[in-house]
Each structure stands twice: as structure tokens, then as C-alpha cells.
Amino acid sequence: MLLALAGAWAQEGVVQQGFVRHEVAGRPILELRGGAQSTAVEQPVICLEGAPLSWLSLETCGNGAGILHQQPGYDMVHFRAKARALHRERDRTTLDLFGGLGLTEVQSTTDRPGFAMGRQEAGSVEAAGPSVAASAKGRLYATPGTYVVADASVGAAWIPGAPAVFGRGGPVTPFASVTVGLGF
């Protein structure tokens, strides 16, 4: 019987439909990813990204210091708006390129409330400043409404207080990250 069904599918005139995506809002709206960041090697990085518009998303990434745990250690957290510059689709996959602007904070111990902008005194534990980034994101749809996502980002932040926090370097703080996760 199975052979007969297989033969019927192979006959001419039988139309097979391809995979059709059906996101909740007609586009991806929420992703949760985890991975590694160049400056936070002591803890994995966690990212949450939401897309209020098809071309715009809001993203935050960090190791969860001050929220998920109180362990001291180096961390870099960013809050970024990302604009899609390129979008390609094929079958169950999509590829997007983004440019982003935001605020980045570095810290050397347990997180404190607020952001310390500008120059900091020697021995300061945190500092923040503006950042710019570029990222590439690929999605593989597992079901019509959910997908597996991978994101690779590179960028730099201008943090005048970074040398005081890290005890070395200058105010330009480069970063890179690779994350994977799920979205819908």
C-alpha cells in the first residue's frame, strides 16, 4: 500500500506544495538566543530581540549580571536598535543583514543600577557609551511559525570610562558575538 501511495505522489499531475511560512504577525517578532561574546568569556551571553516592524528590531544582549545572577566578573551589555539593510528568502531559510545603533555598558564586577556615562575614575566598576554594530542573521524554519536562528555581530563602542573599568586600553571598545536560539 505504501508503495502504491509513493507511486501516486510521483505521477504527473500531482501537485506538491512547498513550505509556506505563517508567522504570528506575518514576520518574525521575538527571538531568544544564547552564545558567546568577545568580552564576556566568563559567562555565556543571552540575547532577547523583538521586532515591532518588519525592518526594525530592538535587541539587548548580556550575561544577565544583576538580573539572572549576582556573580562578579567582566560583562558587556548592549541595548540596540537594528535596521534591516538586506533580506533574502529561499525555501525554509532567510538571511538578513542589519546595521545597529545603541548604548553599551562594560563592567568589571557585580552590576549596579543605572549607566555611568563619560570618563570614570581609576577603579570604577562600570562605564557606558554609544555603540555601532553590523550583524548577519540566518533563520531556518522548523514549523511554519517557529524557527531556529543564528546571529553573528561585530561592532565598537565609544566608552570614555572603559580604561578605568578594565585597567587598560582606550575608549574604543570593539566586540563580536555569535548566538543561536529560537524565534517565532
pLDDT digits (tens, 9 = 90+) for 138-154: 999 998 889 999 999 99
* Maximum CA extent, the chain: 79
Residue 20 domain-assigned (yes or no): no
- Average pLDDT over the chain, rounded to whole? 81
pLDDT at residue 122 in the model: 66
- pLDDT computed for residue 91 by the predictor: 87
Q: How many domains does the chain have?
A: 1
38 and 177 in contact (C-beta within 8 Å)? Answer: yes
- State the residue range of the domain holding 107: 26-183
Answer whether residue 4 shows pLDDT above 60. no
Average pLDDT of 71-81?
A: 84
Category of 26 on φ-ψ map: left (φ > 0), alpha (ψ -120 to 50) or beta = left
Q: What is the CATH number of the domain that holds 86?
A: 2.40.160.20
Per-residue confidence band for 20, with pLDDT thresholds at 50, 70 and 90 = low
- What's the pLDDT at 126? 84
8, part of any domain:
no
Nearest to 90 by CA among 17, 18, 181, 182: 18
7 located within any domain? no
Least trusted range by pLDDT, from 80-84, 99-103, 122-126, 158-162: 122-126
- Terminal CA-to-CA distance of the chain, rounded, Å? 38
pLDDT, tens only, 22-42: 566 667 889 999 999 887 557
- Is residue 161 situated within a structural domain? yes
